[in-house]
Structure 1
Amino acid sequence: MVPLLLLPLLWGGSLQEDQGYRLLVQESVTVQACLGVYVPCSFSYPWSPWYYYGEPFIYWFREGDDIHRSDPVATNNPGRQVKPETQGRFHLLRDRREENCSLNIRDARMSDTGVYFFRVERGDRKYSYRDKKLNLQVTAPTEKPDIHFLEALESGRPTNLICHLSLVCDGGRVFSFSWAGDALDAMDPETLHSSVLTFTPRPQDHGTNLTCRVELQGDQVTMERTIRLNVSYAPWNLSINLCFRNVTALKALQNSSSLLISESQALQLLCVADSNPPAQLSWFRTSPALNATRISSTKILELPGLGAAEREFTCRAQNPLGSQNTSLSLSVVWKPASLTGVVRGALAGAGAMALLSLCLCVIFFCIVKDRRKQAARRPEGVDGEDPVMGTIAWGSRQKPWPDGPPDQTSSPAEDAPPSGEQQELHYASLSFRGMKSREPLDQEATSTTEYSEINTS
Structure 2
Amino acid sequence: MFPVEIIIFFLVMLEGSCGTGWDINLSRNLTGQEELCVVIPCRYQFPNDVHPTQFVGIWFKQRKVSSKQRSPKAIYNSSSTHLVTSRYRMDGGLDRQDCSLVINDLHTSDHAYYQFQIELDGRFKFTYEKLVHLQVSAFREIPTISHMEEMLEGKPVNLICTFLSHCEGTRATLSWLLPKDFKRSTPKTKTERRNATWAFTIGLTFTPTIRHQDKQIGCQVKLSRASSKVAIRLQIEHPPRRPLILREDRGLESGHEGSRAALLCSVNSQPAANLTWIQNGERLNSSVNSNQLWLLLPHLTYRQEGEYRCTAWNKHGTKTASEKITIQYSPKETSVRVSGTRHEIREGDNVTLTCFSKSNPPVINYSWFRVDVNRTDFVASGKSLNLGVVSRDDNESWHYCRAENELGPSNSSLWHFNVEYGAEVVPQSNCTQGVDVECVCVVTGNPPANITWELEHKILRGNYTESGVKVSSEVRQHEARSTLTVKQRYREFNAVCVGSNRHGEKRLKLHLCPTGELKPLWFGVFGRICGAFIAAAITASVCWLLTGRAKKVTQPHQRQVPPDRDASGSEVGQDTVRV
TM-score (norm 2): 0.36
Name the TM-score, length of structure 1 as normaliser. 0.44
Ranked by relative contact order (alpha carbons within 8 Å, sequence separation 6 or more), the top structure is 1
As a proportion of its length, which structure holds more strand?
2
Report the structure number with the largest CA radius of gyration.
1
